[in-house]
Amino acid sequence: MKSNFRIFLAVICLVAAMGTAPKRAQAADGPVVLTVAGAIANANRGPVDPFDDGFFNSGQIAFDKAAAFDIVDLQALGVKRLEVRYPDWPKGFVFEGPLLGDVLAKAGATGKVVRVQALDGYAAEIPMEDIRKYPVVLAIKRDGRFLGIGDRGPAWVVFPRDDYPEFKAQDDSKWVWAVYYIHVE
């Protein structure tokens, strides 16, 4: 029950933040849905502000600079379509979004690993070499619809499971959904 309350609180905070995001935290005209920080060269926003960035502050996320992306920014990186069927899913799905490598390149990421953070606090580390080697998609759509809060959005890391045999035995622990923050190390 405590976990469900945290998720509920996180969603409420994000929805509130999206509607009132300060101008300095917006990469374009729309609300920021993804922030990339850490070992990056191309920042478009400054440090976490304890008040304006209440969701980051409550999650104990701090950075001096970051690259902030809205949906338009992510789409501008190019949209890759990826059809995936995972064994436990009711059916296959078509995911659409930029390659995670392209998002990180736009941010000027120079690290060896990324820590992908979900709204509920879940996080997974993905080696940068995997992101460069495989067409890992940061999905913002599933079956033609944007991923919303509560619908595994705003973004979902999706691996090309059906196209590479090495992913058949991989569990889904790196398939982080409800992604809003990536830290490059």
Q: What is the pLDDT of residue 112?
A: 97
Chain center to CA of 152: 10
Contact indicator for 38, 183 with CB cutoff of 8 Å: yes
State yes or no: pLDDT of 11 exceeds 80: no
- What CATH number has the domain spanning 2-179? 3.90.420.10
Tokens 């690290």 belong to residue: 111
Confidence of residue 158 (pLDDT cuts 50, 70, 90): very high
Is 50 exceeded by the pLDDT of residue 2? no
Is residue 47 within 8 A of residue 64, CB to CB? The reply is: yes
Task: Record the pTM.
Answer: 0.84
Of the candidates 124, 71, 69, 134, the one whose C-alpha atom is nearest the C-alpha of residue 99 is: 134
On the 0-12 / 13-18 / 19+ scale of CB atoms within 10 A, 135 is: middle
Contact 110, 131 (CB under 8 A): no
What does the pLDDT look like over 90-124, one tens digit per residue?
A: 899 999 999 999 999 999 999 999 999 999 999 99
Contacts for 12 with CB less than 8 Å, ≥ 6 apart = none
| Predicted pLDDT at 22 | 39
pLDDT at position 28, please?
A: 55
Place of tokens 């490059």: 184
Element (DSSP H or E) covering residue 113: strand 113-118
3-class state of residue 106 by DSSP: helix
Q: What is the pLDDT of residue 86?
A: 79
State the pLDDT confidence band at 163, using cuts at 50, 70 and 90.
Answer: confident
Q: Which residue has the higher pLDDT, 78 or 23?
A: 78
pLDDT at position 81, please?
A: 97
pLDDT digit string (tens) for 19-50? Answer: 434 334 444 578 999 999 999 999 999 999 99
Q: Give how far Cα 176 sits from Cα of 49, 51, 120, 138, Å.
A: 26, 27, 11, 10
In contact, 139 and 17? CB cutoff 8 Å: no
